[in-house]
A and B are shown apart, each in its own frame.
Chain A
Amino acid sequence: MERKDPAGDDRSLLDEVQRLGRENRRLQRAVEELAILNEIATAINSSLALEKILDLMTQRCVHHLRAEQGAVLLLEEHKEERPFQTLCRVGDTSHKRLPFRLDDQLAGWMLTHRAPLLINDLGSDPRFATGVGDLFAVRSLLCVPMICKGRMTGLLAVFNKKSGTGFSEDDQRLLAIIASESAQVIENARLAEKEKTLLRVQEELSLAREIQGNLLPKDTPRPPGYDIAGKSVPAKEVGGDYYDFLVLDGPRLGFCLGDVSGKGLPAALLMANLQAAIRGQALSGTSPTSCLEKVNTLLYRSTSPEKFATLFFACLDTVAHLIHYCNAGHNYPLLLRAGGGTIRLSAGGLALGCLESFPFEESRTELAPGDRLIVFSDGVSEAVNAADEEFGEERIAEIAASDPGATATELIEMILQAVGRHAAGRAQMDDMTLVVIRRE
């Protein structure tokens, strides 16, 4: 029987004790990590608000990793310049000199490498040797990417380990787990906030649409011997087109159709301004030119230099059957004579709001029984099909010529349906507005 070496027994016992000690510390560390992770998971799942989640997470990371400062940066999609948006910072206020702006270099490095970054002696790190700038007060840093479904969504960083040793591999592993566990929660919260904002904008837009709808004439005038209709179809929720009917004096009826440059809300606001100006100026006794000259100056003074509006304005005398009109840069309305032939009403001048004052011209024409006047915006004539081919004013004239007996309302519907068939499913690019006046 072989005798045991007592010294060897002691050695193996000592080894065993040391091994158990290491194992114990590892387990202890694992228990601590699990407790930290559990605490963070509970904290971030307790709220749906993005800012609160980020704040809780950063606070816990700073605390458990014994750092002086922490930050979460979220990556903004579709932003090439400064793609990171700092959403949360937590700092130890006793360190007044700590920089509160993450250097672009760090964000750039993370975006390129998408890997953890652990630096315990920043001053001598060759990667950040130049342009450290704002990072001068940072001695050590630990930074990990947040990755969600294969896409980098942000980064999580802590700065300046409070104990002298700097951040450890264990710290890095823990921060990486926190980042990967929270990436999806943060992404969900971010999407929920985006949706909320979008819903609010939608609500405001539909309110704006209602307001704009109320600016359009509620009743169409029915002077004896005339059939009149108008319709406006905005391309977006709200548009820059408008039409109006104005009762002037005796048998005189004013009507106009305008198109403000640009689209959407900015155009809609200017449109409301134009409508109010016209209503204020088109008083009984005023001629179309004097009305438009005043409106032009008003619009010029109240808009930015690139904005203007085209407007066709006319006064119809329903007894003398005369139209006095002034066309301020608008698509020429088509006057289809019952006896054949089409006239384009072009007399007028420059679009409104381009110059502070402009001498407009006016012209007049007579309406014979069966004559039809079609006033339209360029959204109708310039509606394009898949081959970029415009609908064109010739088609408008052809449709009208094909059915001389159609009422004003029917003619508008016929034209809009033809535009729809022409576009063949292609989205409406511009507002479409039509006014038809037919002498019976």
Chain B
Amino acid sequence: MTIRESKTDSFALLGIGGRVDSLNAETLKGRLQEIGQREARILVDCTALEYIGSAGLGALLVLLKLVRKQGGTLRLFGLSPHIAEVFAIAGFDKLFAIFPDLESARQAAT
């Protein structure tokens, strides 16, 4: 699992890559909690995400709740068909704002 953080325009850009399983989801949760407390506009790049299990989805859920509490924006983009299916099955596609790529995520109306 890799976690990269950078900036683009007014968004914090977060890249999550590799496999997020129950063994490393706690690390991800810790990072996302920290980021969710200081950033209100976040784009999550899932292009390099290969696998995400339920514990990983739980970590993203924590981030979403933190951002919502601040009235902020959280957008995901670059989900592979397999990852998109994992989100859809859990109903997380109804919970998260999901976009095909960085451009569409950045320019979407708030």
Contacts and interface: CB of A to CB of B under 8 A. Distances in A.
Interface centre among A307, A351, A382, A429 (most CB of B within 10 A): A351
Interface string B24-40: 01000100000000000
B91 A261 contact: no
B54 A262 contact: yes
Contact of A308 (B21, B53, B58, B89): B58
B83 to A, nearest CB: 13
Interface in B54-87: 54-55, 57-59, 61-62, 65
Contacts of A131: none
Contacts of A308: 54, 57-58, 61, 90
Interface residues of B, number: 19
Contacts of B59: 306
B44 to A, nearest CB: 16
Contact of A306 (B62, B89, B95): B62
Contact of B58 (A307, A332, A355, A430): A307
B90 A351 contact: yes
B91 A351 contact: yes
A349 B88 CA distance: 9
Interface in A248-291: 259, 261-263
A262 B55 contact: yes
A263 B89 CA distance: 19
A349 B91 CA distance: 6
Given A261-B55, A331-B89, A306 B61 contact: yes
Interface residues on A, range: 20 to 34
A382 B95 CA distance: 23
A284 B11 CA distance: 50
A329 B91 CA distance: 5
B67 to A, nearest CB: 12
A329 B89 contact: yes
Given A305-B61, A306-B61, A308-B61, A328 B91 contact: yes
Contacts of A351: 57, 90-92
A95 to B, nearest CB: 43
B65 to A, nearest CB: 5
Contacts of B21: 429
A328 B91 CA distance: 7
A354 B61 contact: yes
Contacts of A259: 54
A354 B95 contact: yes
A307 B25 CA distance: 12
B84 to A, nearest CB: 14
Contacts of B90: 308, 310, 329, 350-351
B94 interface: yes
A306 B62 CA distance: 5
B22 interface: yes
Given A330-B89, A355-B95, A310 B54 contact: yes
A348 interface: yes
A223 B22 CA distance: 39
A262 B22 contact: yes
Nearest to A303: B58
Contacts of A263: 22, 55
11 contacts: A259-B54, A261-B54, A261-B55, A262-B55, A306-B61, A308-B58, A331-B89, A349-B91, A350-B94, A351-B91, A430-B22
Given A308-B58, A350-B91, 18 more contacts: A259-B54, A261-B57, A263-B55, A305-B62, A306-B55, A306-B59, A306-B62, A308-B54, A329-B92, A331-B89, A346-B89, A348-B91, A350-B94, A351-B91, A354-B61, A354-B95, A378-B53, A430-B53
The 4 lowest CB-CB distance pairs between A and B, nearest first, are: A350-B91, A306-B58, A261-B54, A329-B90
Interface of B: 21-22, 25, 29, 53-55, 57-59, 61-62, 65, 89-92, 94-95
